[in-house]
Homo-oligomer: A and B are copies of this chain.
Amino acid sequence: MSEFDRRHFMKMTAVAGAATGLAGVGTTTAAAADGIVNGQVPGVYRYKIGDMQCASLHDGSRSFPLPDAFVTNVPKPDVLSAAEAAYMPKGMVTVPFNPQVIVTGGKRVLIDTGNGPGAFAATNGAVGQTSKNLVAAGLDPKSIDMVILSHFHPDHTNGLRNPDGSLVYPNAEILAPAKEWDFWMSEENAAKAKSSELMNSYFGNVKKTFAGIESRVNRYDWGKELAPGITSVAAPGHTPGHTAFVLSSGSSKVLLQSDVTNIPEFFLIHPDWHVTYDNDPDQAQATRHAFYDMAAAEKALVIGYHFPFPSIGHVEKAGTGYRLVPVAWNGSL
């Protein structure tokens, strides 16, 4: 066989392999002409907390031109500098999204749901990957027993529904923070929000998301164990009912911060910066300091919904803010 023929043969063999036995590995089944399977490997990072089996599920990332008031209390050039310092594409900001799935005490619990299948279609797969990655982790969406929502922003709730309105997790109990429910379901609050395009869209999205399934939603208070080892923790400010979680099993404990900060490249380094999505920026800022001072003092692992995948790391004090030390990838769990 000539050198050319050998290489050509080898390529064809690899393509055939990719189309059969390896089909499950990539995000697409087609091999690239030159051999490496197209697409990234599944955005699934498995980890354990005591007896809990867990996986970080990457919903994807959005990159968009930095909006003028993304950080409401800092001049835009300073924010652009922070983006550049984090090696983001020039003039852009990148925001990742990472729900978590936890198997605990025989229950399969999904915490937050990502941007949803509608966003998957609209963004050509950039976001809305959660249910696909859940399947890659070995779990049928139909087998999820419980969905816990941290708060009612669309990137956390819209994964509840398919574009046709059907439920992505049809057998799951849905748990929502009681304070969050009360805030967003109030017609009085919705009327007050009419002047803000962002808040108005949030109220509309909440209404649409829960329409017809109100009776499936159970409301929870802070300081409650919602499933074995999963306890809700007050973290208001980002939204009135915004909730963090303590995940604990045996002697192991991890803090799930939800949106105590948005991206760490801006708001962990600068905890006094206010992201445009914070409902009560001063309260959110106070919550950030309290949460991170505790996490840093305890040297606790922290999971951040908007941290880079796999979205787990230690947080420590650095200068006037904090620094994220991402966990080292464990390849043989």
* A24 contact from B6, B24, B101, B145, Cβ within 8 A: B24
Flag if B41 contacts A142 (CB, 8 Å).
no
Flag if A138 contacts B328 (CB, 8 Å).
no
Residues from chain B with a CB closer than 8 A to the CB of A23 are 24
Q: Is A249 an interface residue (CB 8 A)?
A: no
Flag if B18 contacts A21 (CB, 8 Å).
no
Q: Is A286 an interface residue (CB 8 A)?
A: no
Q: Is A26 an interface residue (CB 8 A)?
A: yes
In the bound assembly, the distance between CA atoms of A96 and B32 in angstroms comes to 28
Flag if B24 contacts A21 (CB, 8 Å).
yes
How many copies of this protein are present in the complex?
2
Q: A interface, by DSSP: helix, strand, loop or mixed?
A: loop
Flag if A61 contacts B108 (CB, 8 Å).
no
Q: Nearest Cβ in chain B — how far from A11, in angstroms?
A: 6
Flag if A26 contacts B138 (CB, 8 Å).
yes
One of A193-201, A204-212, A251-259, A306-314 at the interface: A306-314
In the bound assembly, the distance between CA atoms of A301 and B124 in angstroms comes to 27
Q: Is A94 an interface residue (CB 8 A)?
A: yes
Q: Chain B: which residue is nearest A316 at the CB level? A: B85
Residues from chain B with a CB closer than 8 A to the CB of A36 are 46, 53-55, 101, 103, 137-139
Q: Is A64 an interface residue (CB 8 A)?
A: no
**Chain A residues within CB distance 8 Å of chain B:** 6-7, 10-11, 13-15, 17-18, 21-27, 31-32, 34-37, 39-46, 53-55, 58, 60-61, 86-87, 94, 96, 101, 103, 106-108, 124-126, 129, 135-140, 142-143, 145, 171, 299, 308-310, 314, 325-333
